[in-house]
């Protein structure tokens, strides 16, 4: 089978492999720490979404299921929540915590191409799960018919890395010792693909959504609450660009990277843990 044909049939094959073989298992191990870090942002976006009892909600890029479980509790027994993600390891983690929520189900699927049903949902929600599409316009064009009349979509995505020191600071420390990989394009799939809010708005409108609005959400994040200093260093080295560098490094280089990151994050360590700033966009559309 040619590469062109494979790309047409599975446009997010590279992301699927990454989230099933590399990132997914790692996120399962760190799921509680990661969720504790970004939960306040997701909760703020969820409040904006106006999820109500009895509604049907699609959770896009649901990961380990924390947001899906929260949504399921909000819609109650008469509602329905469908968590969808590329990563089977992360979905398995979600299922393990959702046995007492019959209104919640998880499916491994690519929402860029999956048949999601016409008018099947009252709300579409995502916490940092929509920035990884190979073709974001096509993905939102596929999501749009899944909304029932009067339905709406709300998602949260990161602003530029410079406004997110929780990732920028460890990354910059590592970059002093190794050549960091650069994205193939400025808006390549990844955590910061939707950092340009006006571009993201245009993508949503091209995908068939109307009434697109966005607001800035800036919060201090508590990272690795309850971890020791050594654990905070190791945790920081597993996230974002730093994590990719650590996977390629030999033991000697890893030791130098640990020391560099330890020095870089030291000013941000408080009695509550590692506290660093973040900036996200909360998007809404009809």
Q: How confident is the model at residue 2 (pLDDT cuts 50, 70, 90)?
A: very low
Whole-angstrom Cα distance, residue 246 to residue 256? 11
Helix (H, G, I), strand (E, B) or coil at 286: coil
What CATH number corresponds to the domain at position 102? 3.40.50.150
With contact defined as beta carbons under 8 Å apart, do 53 and 74 qualify?
A: yes
Instruction: Encode pLDDT of 134-174 as tens digits.
Output: 999 999 999 999 999 999 999 999 999 999 999 899 989 98
* Token representation of residue 183: 């994205």
Helix (H, G, I), strand (E, B) or coil at 200: helix
Domain extent for 162: 3-285
Tally of domains within the chain: 1
Average the pLDDT over each of 26-40, 57-71, 86-100, 202-216 and give the range with the smallest value.
26-40
pLDDT given for residue 138 in this prediction: 96
pLDDT at 1 over 50: no
pLDDT at 175 over 60: yes
At what angle are helices 66-75 and 31-49 packed, to 10 degrees? 40
Instruction: Encode pLDDT of 182-206 as tens digits.
Output: 766 778 888 999 999 999 999 999 9
- Cα dihedral 285, 189, 45, 73 in deg (nearest 10): 100
CA-based nearest residue to 154, from 217, 91, 92, 64: 217
């Amino acid at each position: 089978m040619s590469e062109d044909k494979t790309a047409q049939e599975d446009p997010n094959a590279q992301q699927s492999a990454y989230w099933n073989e590399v990132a997914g298992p790692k996120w399962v191990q760190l799921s509680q720490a990661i969720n504790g870090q970004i939960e306040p942002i997701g909760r703020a976006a969820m409040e904006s979404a106006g999820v109500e009892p009895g509604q049907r909600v699609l959770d896009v890029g649901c990961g380990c299921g924390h947001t899906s479980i929260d949504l399921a509790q909000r819609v109650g027994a008469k509602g329905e929540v469908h968590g969808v993600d590329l990563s089977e390891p992360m979905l398995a983690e979600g299922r393990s915590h959702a046995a007492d929520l019959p209104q919640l189900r998880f499916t491994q699927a690519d929402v860029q191409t999956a048949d999601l049903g016409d008018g099947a949902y009252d709300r579409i929600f995502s916490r940092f799960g929509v920035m990884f599409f190979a073709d974001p316009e096509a993905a939102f064009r596929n999501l749009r018919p899944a909304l029932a009349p009067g339905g709406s979509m709300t998602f949260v995505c990161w602003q530029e890395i410079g406004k997110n020191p929780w990732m920028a600071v460890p990354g910059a420390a590592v970059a002093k010792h190794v050549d960091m990989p650069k994205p193939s394009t400025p808006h390549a799939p990844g955590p910061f693909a939707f950092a340009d809010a006006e571009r993201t708005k245009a993508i949503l409108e091209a995908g068939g959504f109307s009434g697109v609005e966005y607001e800035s959400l800036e919060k201090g994040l508590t990272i690795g609450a309850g971890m020791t200093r050594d654990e905070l260093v190791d945790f920081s080295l597993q996230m974002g660009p730093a994590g990719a560098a650590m996977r390629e490094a030999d033991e000697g280089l890893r030791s130098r990277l640990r020391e560099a990151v330890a020095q870089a994050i030291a000013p941000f360590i408080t009695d509550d843990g590692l506290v660093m700033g973040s900036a996200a966009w909360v998007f809404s559309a009809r």
